A and B are shown apart, each in its own frame.
Chain A
Amino acid sequence: MNRHNLSLIAVAVVLVVVSLVVGSRREGAEFAGADGQAMAAATALHPDYQPWFKPVWEPPSGEVASLLFALQAALGAGVLGYYLGFKRGQSRQRQPDRVDAGD
């Protein structure tokens, strides 16, 4: 991982932290989902609208939902990490003396 990438990741982390700090100073900040807020806005515009279809299955609790979200992220990160590690090893084998120059 070169220095350039580390600084890009650092900026992303700073953005998240600043968002969290700035956001929590807002009145009524609960960090609810924007998707949910949009559905609430839709209901506010048309109070008589009834969702006509229910989710086929819902996680029975917030814990189970967080398990599945964590699983989704872990699967994605696992595959992505496998790919990048594989390619790094491959290119290191090809040019053993050059590849780590950027690290």
Chain B
Amino acid sequence: MHIAEGFLPPLHAAVWTAVSLPLVIISAHRVNRLMQDQPQIKLLLAASGAFAFVLSALKLPSVTGSCSHATGTGLGAILFGPSVMALLGTIVLLFQALLLAHGGLTTLGANVFSMAIVGPWVAYGILRGTQGLNAPLAMSVFLAAMLGDMATYTVTAGQLALAFPDPASGILGSFIKFMGVFAPTQLPLAVIEGLLTVVIVNLLRQYSQDELRDLQAFPRWLAAEAR
């Protein structure tokens, strides 16, 4: 999902930056307030950012004979709410843009929008939705992380389609083409991301009940646990 440096026309780069920047600023305020109001969750916040750091560094092989990586942003989104992840995801993307020439500064806004904004919001929405339907927590977490990952790559395909419409079949044709590159490669990786996120949440349920309670992260599970 890293659109390479210079690979969006200046107007597109500017618009995505203008969309993402205010959300990252809001996110920074949220993180700041969270750390002031509940200093005891700082370490868990760092651990959630660290999870995204690890997962987005691992280029995994896929069934298509190409490689891609997970995003790791679903975990923080379901623990702290999606708005917190905009800042953490931006830090990861900035590290990769500056030190690894992976992604870029001109495309940072677009990449932040897909990985640090849409992915976390989709993950959060899926968690809340499936919890509302009384799904087991592990199932909810798995679907949230997996579909958040897929959503990130779908947004990237859309961003590229808008910038590079197919001369014959237009934006839609181009979107299908880019999805053809990303979706089959990403699907098994999204499943892996879902599984690993469940592993972490299982460990948190065992050892970090106090923080989960402070955050009211999984209210239905907490209520069942208290009974």
CB pair A38 B57 closer than 8 Å: no
Determine how close the nearest CB of chain A comes to the CB of B145; give it in whole angstroms. Answer: 12
Contact of A39 (CB < 8 Å), options: B7, B50, B191, B198: B7
Whether a CB of chain A sits under 8 angstroms from the CB of B124 is no
* Most chain A Cβ neighbours within 10 Å, of B9, B43, B195, B204: B195
B218 is an interface residue with CB less than 8 A from chain A:
no
Per-residue A-contact encoding for B21-58, CB less than 8 Å = 1, 0 else: 00000000000000000000001101101111111111
Report the bound CA distance from A54 to B188 in whole Å: 32
User: Number of contact residues on B: which range applies?
Assistant: 35 or more
Within residues 16 to 74 of chain A, which ones have a CB less than 8 A from any CB in chain B?
16, 18-20, 22-24, 26, 28-39, 41-42, 45-46, 49, 51-59, 65, 68-70, 72-73
What does DSSP make chain A's interface, helix, strand, loop or mixed?
Answer: helix
Contact B50 A75 (CB under 8 A): yes
Task: Report the Cα distance A78→B185, complex, angstroms.
Answer: 28
Inter-subunit contact A35/B1 (CB<8 Å): yes
Q: Given the complex, which residues of A lie within 8 Å of B186, measured CB to CB?
A: 34
Q: Which residues of A (73-92) have their CB < 8 Å from a CB of B?
A: 73, 75-80, 83-84, 86-88, 90-91
A16 touches B61 (CB 8 A): yes
Number of interface residues of A (CB under 8 A): 63
Least distance between A62 CB and chain B CB atoms (Å): 11
The answer to whether A37 and B166 have CB atoms under 8 Å apart is: no
- Is A26 a contact of B195 with CB atoms below 8 Å? no
Complex interface residues of chain B between 78 and 99 (CB less than 8 A to chain A): 95-99
Task: Answer whether A42 and B44 are a contact pair too, CB < 8 Å, given A29-B65, A76-B53, A90-B207.
Answer: no
Report which B residues bind A (CB closer than 8 A).
1-7, 9-10, 43-44, 46-47, 49-68, 95-102, 104-106, 156-157, 160, 163-167, 174, 177-178, 181-182, 185-186, 188, 191-192, 195-196, 198-200, 202-204, 206-208
